Amino acid sequence: MSRVALGIIVATLAILLGGGPDAVRGQAPTGEYKIGVLEPLTGNLAFEGKRHMEGLEVVRDLINERGGVMGKKLVFAVADATDPTAAASEANRLITREGVKIITGTFSSRLCGAASEVAARHKVIYWESSCVDPRFNKRDLKYVYRTEIDATGFGWYNIEFIAKHLAPRFNLKPNQLKVAFLSEDSSYGQGVTESARQRAKTEFGMQEVMLEYYNWTTLNDMTPTILKMKQLNPDVVHHIGFGNDAVLFWRQSKEQNFLFKALVHAGATGYGGADFGKALGNDANGVFALLEPGPGFRLEALRPEGQQIEKAFRDAIQKRTGTYPFGAHQLAGAGLWLLKLVLDRAKTDDPEKFNAAVMSLDMPVGSMINGWGVKFSEVGQNANDRVQHYMLQWQNGQLVTVWPEEFTTLRAKWIPLGAWDQRK
Amino acid sequence: MDPARRLGPAQIDVLAQLAVATVLLGGIYALIAVGLTLIFGIMRVVNFAHGEFLMLGMYLAFWAFALYAVDPYVVVLISIPVFFVVGLVTYVLVMRGVIQASHNVQIFTTVGLSVVLQNVALVAWAGDFRFVRPWHLSTVIRAGSTTFNLSQVVAFLIAVGLTVALVAFMKWTHAGRVMRATAQDRDAATLMGIDTDRVYRLTFAIGIAAVGAAGVLVAPLYAIYPTAGLQFVLLAYVVVVLGGLGDMFGAMLGSFIVAAVEVAGSYLFGTAWKEIFYFILFILVLVFRPAGLFGQRGAETLGV
């Protein structure tokens, strides 16, 4: 390639990446406080990334109506993190060009690692709202925080639900329960499954009858797995699905008349996605998925300050999108609100003082959006038992909140599941 | 509990069901592979965009069902002419330019086409998983203790029918003879007055029509998303290589072998193992019988 061509390409890229003559340089004057926001806004992660943006913008407005942060109006410098490379280069740009001292994002476990790495190198605060990769907080990076639990936290909650809610309703002790673990083999699936196995075995003595991982992108038939499971006769199937695999397992289990007492999943993929209900209609009845709160969630169960902000948040999302908040709204929104609480306390973005404020926050469950509480560990991870998660169940085409019971008006049905044609 | 323990009535039931699963899954693979093996056999082009035409077929079924509530079994009839035309257009716009070029160029072209089609689908219809839910979805036929999914049975029967029809077409029609002649020696065929461009055009269009129809038929069984084709296309290559290039019955048998390896591997060792097993088989065949299990010796170099 000639030098001229190379020069043109480099110049084009520089302009595309935001180094053009009109790009805003440096921190805006007083009156505004700017943070960097990294979300995938184009490409195949964009669907969720845009919902995150909606959640962030709604909460930004709520914050500004309530006095902003550190006495200034909160504004965003938004960057599009399409993939890990873009996440890293855009984080770099936000820091060096926009001069931000705090970056929040990024929805995906594919992006948060790369972006936080860059922030840590520049001693900039990295505030993650949604990625669940368990490795995120295990890299000894300073000033890197995560408000949501990680994948291992999902496993923790699933076993909590199985041991404390399902087992008594089956009239079984937790150590009498036979559990089959089935999962897609991403770092998310493995993180949830391994932590669930660990807790099931050591804390409750549950009997693991099967463990199987698979690659969901090449899975065309689950009949062999189902036939094997049928012989092992589990009470609970702990299945982390991604997409097609969840539908395939459920449909083929019905075809093979595979009967078990409950199926528990975690996260917004597979059984936790709207697609699952669309694919199966009322045949989806009975499946459990650990998620953020959905229909049935009781405001009154929260503390007064939590009720106030949860209601304002829910109304604002409803006004903007016409729907109940989706998981992406809830994660991004709660993350940003929590950032405000920290800044209120720290009164500065100096990383050391910010860190001291993060560590000193101690709020019980029910204090904020999603009914969350706050207690960060020294590696910057919010605690499992404070980031309250909820078990939702497919009931006649809708995912509704059924557990913990004090947080919801609705109740889990079909326990145990019973015959396939009786779940109406 | 060891699934391979002593044979009792319960084990026989399981074996019977595994056999049924093999045949029905093999039927789906055969349905997808038949168009690929035709294009591969006659044109000597590895069509890496094959899976994307399958995906387009699935989307056709989805939109016909979502917008006009047309059953996939009706759509399949429409899909054949539609995808025949899609195949013709693709041939004229893309394939004709590279048909004389080296295999590398053809591979790059079809891979490029594959990426383009995936991204067109992503832009046009977003990355969501979509599903077709006709009334016969999940309709199950029970025979003794074994169960048959109706959609899979239909896919299987159509796969067999399509294979037989294509074999008959190749064997007994003038067009078929011309196609075989072109496959054996393009230059000689040209000298005999055969319009090879027309033969390739027809071959490509028939191959794409077959995979488009396959996409419609599998739409009720699997999620529909822009990269859905990738789920099957690697398998289809294994099937085609196993069966011998361009050998229709070979492809069908290859499909059943791959399905059997997949089902038995998943049952005995776990789902994660299935690809290891059938790709080992794939490599063994390439090393020891490069013409495929059923292909004639030397066929692998025909026309190259």
One-letter amino acid of B205: A
> How many structural domains are present in chain B?
1
Residue for token pair 């495929």? B292
Phi and psi at residue A74, to the nearest 5°: -80, 125
* A202 Cβ neighbours under 8 A, 6+ residues apart: none
Is B89 among the domain residues?
Answer: yes
Identity of the residue in B3, B126, B271 whose CB atom sits nearest the CB atom of A219: B271
What residues in A contact B10, CB-CB < 8 Å? Answer: 231
Within a domain: residue B291?
no
**CB A206, CB A177: distance < 8 Å:** yes
Q: pLDDT per residue over A255-265, tens digit each? A: 999 999 999 99
pLDDT value of position B295: 64
ipTM at complex level: 0.87
Judged by DSSP in three states, B93 sits in helix
- CA A231, distance to chain mean position in Å, is 35
Q: What is the pLDDT of residues A84-124, one digit of tens each?
A: 999 999 999 999 999 999 999 988 888 999 999 999 999 99
Beta bridge partners of residue A38, listed in sequence order? A79, A105
CB contacts, 8 Å: A228 with chain B? 3, 267
Domains and CATH numbers, chain A: 1-146+299-388 (3.40.50.2300), 152-292+389-422 (3.40.50.2300)
The answer to whether residue B12 sits within a structural domain is no
Q: Is residue B111 part of a domain?
A: yes
The answer to whether the CB atoms of A219 and B275 lie below 8 A apart is: no
| pLDDT tens, position by position, B64-108 | 999 999 999 999 999 999 999 999 999 999 999 998 888 889 999
Distance between CA atoms of residues B235 and B232, nearest Å: 5
- pTM score: 0.85
B275 vs A contacts (CB less than 8 Å): 215, 218
Tell me which residue of A343, A375, A319, A310 sits closest to A102, measured CA to CA.
Answer: A343
- Among residues A57, A118, A121, the alpha carbon closest in space to that of A313 is found at A57
Residue B210, class by beta-carbon neighbours within 10 Å (0-12 exposed, 13-18 middle, 19+ buried)? buried
Out of A139-143, B131-135, B246-250, pick the least confident. Answer: B246-250
For chain A, the residues whose C-beta falls within 8 A of a C-beta of chain B are 44, 47, 185, 212-215, 217-225, 227-228, 231-232, 243-244, 247-248, 251-252, 254-257, 273, 275, 278-281, 283
Domain that holds residue B94: 28-228
Tokens matching residue B84: 């025949």
CA-CA distance, A61 to A84, in Å (whole number)? 29
Residue B236 belongs to a domain: no
> A165 falls in which pLDDT band (50, 70, 90)?
very high
Query: Which residues of chain B approach chain A closer than 8 Å at the C-beta?
Result: 1, 3, 10, 14, 17-18, 21, 25, 28, 122, 126-131, 133, 137-138, 140, 147, 149, 222-223, 225-227, 230-232, 234-235, 259, 262-264, 266-267, 270-272, 275
- B258 within a domain of the structure (yes/no): no
Q: Tokens representing A8? A: 């043109």
Question: Which spans in A66-172 are helix H?
Answer: 84-96, 109-121, 151-161, 167-169
Contacts of B21 in chain A (CB under 8 A): 221, 223-224
In a domain, B3, yes or no: no
Domain contains B294: no
DSSP H helices in chain B: 9-43, 50-68, 72-90, 96-98, 103-125, 150-172, 174-184, 186-191, 196-218, 230-243, 248-268, 274-288
